[in-house]
Copies of this chain bind each other. A is one copy, B any other.
Amino acid sequence: MTAPERGQATILDVARLAGVSRTTVSRVLNEPERVTADTLAKVRAAADRLNFVPSAAARSLRNGRTGTIALLVGDVSQPFHGGLAKTISHEADDLGYSVMLYDLAHSETRLRRVLEKLPKQGVDAVVLATADALVEPETLQALDVLHEHGIPVLTTVDRDDARHALSLGFDYREPARAATSAMAGSGHGPVALLVGTGIGPLGRQLVAGYLDALSPGAPELVVETPYDFDGAQAAAAALLDRASVGGILAATVPMAIGAIRAAEARGLRVPDDLVVLSGEEVPLAAQVRPAITTLSAAAERNGHAIMRLLADALAGRDAPRPPLEAELVVRESFVPAR
């Protein structure tokens, strides 16, 4: 009974029990083909018997990699982010990686604190899944530090503020233009845009596309609201009180729901009196009434694309950006004329 001291059995315990050297045990773990079938069996048996599990700490100390990626997300409790987290968790698992989750609560302070502790945490890559703007110089500097440490950073939305970051190369400007234009063409009246406070990179694209679509003389109705139901509901209520609005393009599905509830509270029916469109596609959009017409990429597709990019980055390959295209998923809240 070569009892391992207490707690973990180490590679040495296994070696002793199997009557071989540490090196051989290590080989069985990492290059089983370079070892005799006989010793292989012996070692495996010993490892099993001792419930041996190699120490991740020792391993990463030795070879520099941790097998971990960090997922920084604006707010996991929002449906799009939740779906993204789910997909990324699964795909990371397939790639043999684990995922560290950091919920930012849309706070740049929080983001900065996380970014600053990441190099020390030791992650192999970072996925930055937020549409929030990065304004503080310290945040950018923290990103630079990650880059210096050779840790790739991927973003789910194109952003010029995050230097060195890889992104999907997807631009919402044209989709937003087309959507705004279609809503304006539905004859309900002026179209408004609901974007997150601080207007991040995604918001800027939406605003640009929205402005592109505005016919001369049409009012510019761009409203900033917190990224959730409550914020959007309040903002939409205020908007509807002060302006005549026939269509609302909301960045997220919860924001679209908020806008719809605000409209309903004012006796407006969707889509009869007012049409509504969301910039993200999540299952929830089909589950509410009226079901929400959405635009562009779903969380799963985003997640897949990001993870492919990530796999390439981790393997040191040059990443060919998969073209992501926006499509309109027509439901009840807005049915474009055709």
Q: Which residues of A contact B (CB under 8 A)?
A: 7-8, 51, 53-58, 60-61, 66, 68, 71, 75-79, 81-83, 85-86, 89-90, 93, 98-103, 105, 110, 113-114, 119-122, 145, 148-150, 229, 254, 257-258, 261, 264, 283-284, 287-289, 299
Interface hub of A77, A79, A85, A145 (most chain B Cβ within 10 A): A77
Q: Measured between alpha carbons, how far is A55 from B145 in the docked complex, in Å?
A: 15
- Rounded to whole Å, the gap between the CB of A266 and the closest CB of chain B is 15
How many copies of this chain sit in the oligomeric assembly? 2
Assess the B85–A103 pair: CB atoms within 8 A: yes
Interface hub of A82, A101, A257 (most chain B Cβ within 10 A): A101
Q: Provide the residues of chain B in CB contact with A56, threshold 8 Å.
A: 66, 120-122
Assess the B77–A85 pair: CB atoms within 8 A: yes
Assess the B90–A86 pair: CB atoms within 8 A: no
Assess the B120–A103 pair: CB atoms within 8 A: no
Q: Provide the residues of chain B in CB contact with A264, threshold 8 Å.
A: 289
Residues A150 and B7 in contact in the complex (CB < 8 Å), given A86-B103, A283-B229:
yes
Chain B residue with the shortest CB-CB distance to A120:
B53
Q: Measured between alpha carbons, how far is A48 from B57 in the docked complex, in Å?
A: 25
Q: Measured between alpha carbons, how far is A127 from B228 in the docked complex, in Å?
A: 27
Interface hub of A78, A121, A148, A150 (most chain B Cβ within 10 A): A121
Q: Measured between alpha carbons, how far is A120 from B288 in the docked complex, in Å?
A: 43
Assess the B98–A100 pair: CB atoms within 8 A: yes
Assess the A51–B145 pair: CB atoms within 8 A: yes
Q: Measured between alpha carbons, how far is A113 from B56 in the docked complex, in Å?
A: 16
- Rounded to whole Å, the gap between the CB of A195 and the closest CB of chain B is 19
Q: Provide the residues of chain B in CB contact with A113, threshold 8 Å.
A: 93
Residues A58 and B61 in contact in the complex (CB < 8 Å), given A105-B90, A149-B7:
yes
Assess the B77–A89 pair: CB atoms within 8 A: no
Q: Measured between alpha carbons, how far is A54 from B117 in the docked complex, in Å?
A: 10
- Rounded to whole Å, the gap between the CB of A12 and the closest CB of chain B is 15
Residues A79 and B76 in contact in the complex (CB < 8 Å), given A53-B119, A58-B61, A122-B57:
no
Assess the A51–B82 pair: CB atoms within 8 A: no
- Rounded to whole Å, the gap between the CB of A118 and the closest CB of chain B is 9
Residues A89 and B61 in contact in the complex (CB < 8 Å), given A148-B51, A258-B287:
no
Assess the B61–A101 pair: CB atoms within 8 A: no
Residues A85 and B76 in contact in the complex (CB < 8 Å), given A57-B61, A98-B121:
yes
Assess the A85–B57 pair: CB atoms within 8 A: no
Residues A287 and B100 in contact in the complex (CB < 8 Å), given A77-B83, A148-B51:
no
Assess the B122–A55 pair: CB atoms within 8 A: yes
